[in-house]
Amino acid sequence: MDKSISASKPLSGEIVVPGDKSISHRSVMIGAIAVGTSEITGFLHAADPLSTISCFHSLGIEHRFENERLFIFGKGLHGLQHASTALDAGNSGTTIRLMSGILVGQKFATTITGDEYLVKRPMKRIIDPLSTMGARITATESKTAPLTILPAERLNAIDYELPIASAQVKSAVLFAGLYAEGTTRVIEREPSRDHTERMLGLTSQTVDGKTIVTVDGGRKISAGVFAVPGDPSSAAFFIVAGLIVPGSEILIKNVGMNPTRVGFISILKQMGAFISIEHERIVGGEPLADIVVRSSNLHTDLVLDGAIIPNIIDEIPILSIAAAFAEGSFQVCDAQDLRNKETDRIEAVCDNLRKMGLTVDGAKDGFAFHSKNNLLQGEFDSYDDHRIAMAFGIASLGLKGTSTIKNAECVSISYPSFWETIQALQR
């Protein structure tokens, strides 16, 4: 499905973005290995989290949707059952990487794979630390899925320092640590999103500027009640929409404000954005707030690199759109992991920005450009990547004429009602 989008009149209204994708995944995983029935509100009904539910259903975990609530009937750390076929993680890197940390502790063999895009994504980053713990994992020659995970004689606790900041690798090791003998420690030089440790109630401390998260093997997990906040990564698209479409004012309710997820807001404020954070509160251990955004004259001359990159990795495509409508230069460095997402996002962003008339210099770990007036409408390729489709859908609202987003249905990965939300704000 291709989507045609014309230059927009002012956007106004109040919206609630879908539930946080990262927390939705983890609530299902933790609920499955907990003892008892966990209740989840705000669960994201999108393709990726539904892949996680499907995988656990194949492993004998039952669930039930009831109005706005999801119930997961957990069976404890060792209650999963052998799946009769390979687990299908769909397009979800979070599903395959985090679940691998759980599957290495089981007493049966499991194969887990995914769609044509997921099987190209790197898995060595989880295979290495899990193998060090004693896990037995086979993959393709290039260390990609399908992954076959065989029963291990035993898993040993390790101290593991992440070579690059990655919440997925950290979470896979922490989940495996639940099945290991002893205490596993994951050490981060740069912080990554901390939902797993929050939801499991793990302890963390900072030593010599590094964060150390610990988990004890054999720890029993009790069923819980999880309230999933609105996804800040989804909110980012409408924050930028409100900034670049003249005369706009948008209220976004119940957005997760976890400090490891909202670095993009401080960057937009550096660019001169009017963003007001209101009604801050804590729900289920996660900070929430309402966000008011108004159209603003943006300026940039920013270089994004170093420690901030893991915090904003998912928002770089939409930040590049904000920068394209600002005055000045914009550069992203140290973001080579963008090439390992649902698509090569560096290539996708550069290609589509050039269609807008910008001169973009691509690099192995990022890109750079200088904004210009008279940006061009165009036909933008989604590369079947939800964040690319949404970013250039937002850009199209601020361009003259009508633009087209190719294969726009891929937004269903994280925000199935994205195009309808745009229409609601235009009424």
> Which residues carry out catalysis?
314
Amino acid, res. 220 = K
Picking from 341, 337, 367, the residue whose alpha carbon sits closest to that of residue 352 is: 367
Phi, psi (degrees; rounded to nearest 5) at 138: -110, 145
Q: What are phi and psi of 352, to 5 degrees?
A: -75, -35
Q: Which residues are 50's β-sheet partners?
A: none
State CA 54 to chain mean position distance.
Answer: 19
Helices then strands (H, E): number in the chain?
13, 23
Buried b / exposed e over 155-190, threshold 16 CB at 10 Å, is bebbebebeebbbbbbbbbbbbbbbbeeebbbebeb
Give the closest residue to 235 by CA, choosing from 194, 264, 272: 264
* Sign of the torsion formed by the C-alpha atoms of 316, 389, 344 and 100: positive
Q: How far is Cα 268 from Cα 271, in angstroms, rounded to an integer?
A: 5
Radius of gyration of the chain (CA): 21
Characterise 4 by phi-psi region: left (phi > 0), alpha (psi -120 to 50), beta (else): beta
* Contact in structure between 319 and 325 (CB atoms under 8 Å): no
**Alpha carbon distance, N-terminus to C-terminus of the chain:** 23
Q: In what order do the strands lie in the sheet with 210-216?
A: 159-161, 183-188, 210-216, 203-207
Q: How far lies 230's CA from each of 23, 51, 157, in Å?
A: 10, 19, 35
Q: Which residues pair with 293 in a beta bridge?
A: 250, 275
CB 258 within 8 A of CB 284: no
Please give the structure tokens belonging to residue 343: 């698509």
Ramachandran sector of residue 407 (left: φ over 0; alpha: ψ -120 to 50; beta: rest): left
Work out the angle between the directed axes of helices 345-355 and 316-324 (0-180°, nearest 10): 20
